[in-house]
Chains A and B, each alone.
Chain A
Amino acid sequence: MAPIQPGQNGILRQALDLPDEQKARLLEEMLQHELGSSEENNRPFLTTLAEAVTRLEGRIQSRATAPESAASVQNSGPRRRPDPAPAMEWLRLHSKEYGGEWVALDGGRLIAHGPDAMEVYAAAEADGAYLPMIDYIEPADALPFIF
């Protein structure tokens, strides 16, 4: 594996600050990428990575089976927030398809959409995603906005 360059520290910090679910996904992707390259000298790194994925998945699993822990996190100072970037990117890419509607997004996953804000919100609540992005998409033919 190439040594970490000083400029990469920020990226690493960002990756470490991701919620566990997203961190697990990122690690899984890295693992798949490394497996794809299948270079012999990557083996110790692959082992470490695989162990990290297993640990994170275990942590996510235990949290899923103990919902009361989420409530305790809520009262223990600042919470980690979901990365809004995937949702913002989804909005950029799909706005034309959902003009005039409210959407609820879990990262890049569309949970619900429709013209009624509270129905979309209720669907997002029922989905159980942590802090989904709820946003209104302006109609494609809306006049330019000025307040």
Chain B
Amino acid sequence: MPDLSFDVTHIYTSTDGIKIPLVISFGGKEVQTSGYADCGSEACIFSNEIGQMLGIDVEAGEPKSFGPASGGTFETYGHLVIIEFLGITLESIVYFAKFPGLRRNLLGRSGWLSKLRFGLVDYDSTVFLSHLT
């Protein structure tokens, strides 16, 4: 059996997903919000509104289209931001939705999961995290 150890244990209270409180920063502005851990999402995708709150010119970022499970394309723009959560700080590319209305911020593989050791026991509503350096 592998022997895993983690720096952070977090019990989430949300019943609709693995919701993690976070602070996202860009250019000296910061917003406290939340994101959902989403191992099935290839990248971190945040709502357009959060980008606006950070003062980001969303469409000035690196354009990238995603293919949601429901089909079609989801247009976003990538920006380098700082995400702080549960005592861990990451500098990551986050893709902001082109249009307002995304219901959730997604913490996906690139930019989040790939920088962590991540354990999950959903039965106990618990995530275990360590920052890989």
A interface residues (Cβ-Cβ under 8 A, vs B): 74, 78, 81-82, 84, 87-89, 91-92, 102, 117-118, 121, 131-136, 138, 142, 144-147
Contacts and interface: CB of A to CB of B under 8 A. Distances in A.
B49 interface: yes
A84 B41 contact: no
A92 B14 contact: yes
A146 to B, nearest CB: 5
A88 B34 CA distance: 9
Contact of A117 (B13, B38, B52, B68): B52
Given A92-B14, A118-B53, A135-B34, A84 B21 contact: yes
A81 B84 contact: yes
A117 B104 CA distance: 13
Contacts of B53: 117-118, 121, 134
B33 interface: yes
Contacts of A78: 89
Given A118-B53, A121-B53, A134 B31 contact: yes
Interface in B53-75: 53, 66, 68-70, 74
29 contacts: A78-B89, A81-B32, A82-B32, A84-B32, A84-B34, A87-B21, A88-B13, A88-B21, A88-B34, A89-B13, A91-B34, A92-B13, A92-B14, A121-B31, A132-B32, A134-B50, A135-B34, A136-B103, A136-B104, A138-B16, A138-B103, A138-B104, A142-B103, A144-B16, A147-B38, A147-B40, A147-B41, A147-B66, A147-B106
Interface string B15-39: 1110101010000101111101010
Contacts of B66: 147
Contacts of B19: 88
5 A-B pairs with least C-beta separation: A84-B21, A117-B49, A92-B13, A131-B32, A133-B32
Contact of B49 (A74, A82, A118, A133): A118
B87 to A, nearest CB: 9
Nearest to A137: B103
Nearest to A81: B23
